[in-house]
Structure 1
Amino acid sequence: MFGAMDGLVTNIALIAGVGGGGISPRTIVLTGTAGLVAGAISMGLGEFTSVRAQNEQIAAEVAKERRELTRFPQEEAAELARIWQARGLPEDLAMQVASTLGRDIDEAVRVHAQEELGVDPDDAPSPWVAAGSSFVCFSIGALVPLLPYLLGATTLWPALAAGGAGLFVAGALIARYTRRPWWASGLRQLLLGAAAAGATYLVGRLIGV
């Protein structure tokens, strides 16, 4: 949803800006299409790099944890026991469980990563899936304000109306997860998109072709 909204806002603002400058519908289609492709590629590459770097950071931290468990098993067990004690587990029981866990190095690494780092080393997200989903969702969002021109529109307002409807729907759908009123979430996203489009439209009018 956020990728789609990014595509919506980006291309609505782009089309509003060049449309405000007075260029022809054909040029707007070219501009909007270029914005869609460039934005989708940028989103995909950015998401791939971000998730890949995050996974590499987690892998480095897990490898460090494994080395420490191998070299200092008692100290690491005591550290884990202190975490559990802070949550209310009796000291003797916490130390017993932590020491027993240390006999299986792989399981110990997994638990230490979860308790100390807050990550599950076996549940790392795929950078390829993240990149692909961002590419597709951005493209879908960016296509919405472009559709009226592709269907024969010759003025800016149908594109803005389509983009505004897309923003409202996207915001309303997100309300399913945030528990906010759907109309409030949709209206908020519509107003934010309208502010972006208004700013670029004004720039286009001021500069012109």
Structure 2
Amino acid sequence: MSAAPPPAATIGEHHADVAGGWLRPAVFGTMDGLVTNIALIAGVGGGGAAAGSIVLAGTAGLVAGAISMAIGEYTSVRAQNEQIAAEIAKERYELDRHPEAEARELAGLLVGRGIPADLAEQVATALRDRPEAALRMHVQEELGVDPDDRPSPWVAAGSSFSCFSVGALVPLLPFLLGFGQLWLALAVGGAGLFVAGVLVARFTGRRWWRGGLRLLSLGALATAATYLVGRLVGAGVGLS
């Protein structure tokens, strides 16, 4: 005897929220905050700056980066939503003016997805008399988006701002706690990178240790590059 299907109320509950507009800016914000401030601290410290100067530079980098990330996310998500709204308005206009042609177009799209031609024509014909349902179907098929489920630019901005701030704060913690060793700040930042990589891997279903090592390796490359630049510039201006 085959197993009974799961109750309808439980279907889909295991899926993550991928359309809310917060996950991508949260991930990028945390990563950018960590990498940016670790590299900034490495460059300034490598140039021979004192602990107070490193804290000043790191704090400025945290504030400037968080604001920049928030503005960028807000602008990009709002521009995307406005573009989608314009395309939806265009599709609505075509449905109002040319319903027969749009029905044939939708039937062709459904056939292209493997639906039998007669069934695709029946669906398109039925939707022709239901303008809102037809609009939703056209938008989903032609644009690949749900017109009723678009990300919020404010959520994206807030998520990016807060997560960048948290990430950028991690390598500053040793200095703020009274430790003046550059290597300790870089080690704490490296641990933060590894943890961030593990968390991303948990969201995406990848192996946790690969995610951690990948982000740690990329951060190490950025840190090494800025440290070397800091050493060279510091020597050129007489700081190191």
TM-score when normalising by structure 1: 0.97
2:188 to 142, 159, 162: 162
Aligned residue pairs total 209
* Equivalent-residue separation in structure 1 for 2:113 and 2:218 (angstroms): 43
Q: Percent identity?
A: 71
Matched, 1:150 2:176: yes
* Equivalent-residue separation in structure 2 for 1:68 and 1:153 (angstroms): 66
* Equivalent-residue separation in structure 2 for 1:151 and 1:141 (angstroms): 17
* Equivalent-residue separation in structure 1 for 2:122 and 2:211 (angstroms): 50
Residues 94-133 of structure 1: matches in 2 within 5 Å?
A: 94-133=120-159
Where 1:125 maps in the other structure, the secondary structure is coil
CA deviation vs aligned residue, 1:32-84 (integer Å, no higher than 9, x gap): 00000000000000000000000001001000000000111000000100111
Matched residue, 1:136: 162
What is the identity, as a one-letter code, of the residue corresponding to 1:133? S
* Equivalent-residue separation in structure 2 for 1:89 and 1:183 (angstroms): 42
Matched residue, 2:51: 25
1:16 to 42, 55, 62: 42
Matched, 1:207 2:216: no
2:198 to 161, 172, 182: 172
CA deviation vs aligned residue, 1:162-206 (integer Å, no higher than 9, x gap): 100000111111221333321122111111101101100011111
Structure 1 residues 178 and 124, CA gap change in structure 2 (3 angstroms): closer
Structure 1 moving runs of 4+ over 6 Å: none
CA deviation vs aligned residue, 1:14-47 (integer Å, no higher than 9, x gap): 0000000111111111100000000000000000
Across the aligned residues of Structure 1 and Structure 2, the Cα RMSD in angstroms comes to: 1.1
1:182 to 208, 211, 214: 208
Where 2:171 maps in the other structure, the secondary structure is coil
* Equivalent-residue separation in structure 2 for 1:87 and 1:141 (angstroms): 43
* Equivalent-residue separation in structure 2 for 1:80 and 1:173 (angstroms): 41
* Equivalent-residue separation in structure 1 for 2:48 and 2:114 (angstroms): 68
Matched residue, 2:68: 42
Matched residue, 1:64: 90
What is the identity, as a one-letter code, of the residue corresponding to 2:92? R
* Cα shift at 1:96: 2.1
* Equivalent-residue separation in structure 2 for 1:184 and 1:88 (angstroms): 38
Consecutive unaligned residues in structure 1, runs of 5 or more: none
Matched, 1:83 2:121: no
* Cα shift at 1:92: 2.6
Structure 1 residues 120 and 28, CA gap change in structure 2 (3 angstroms): same
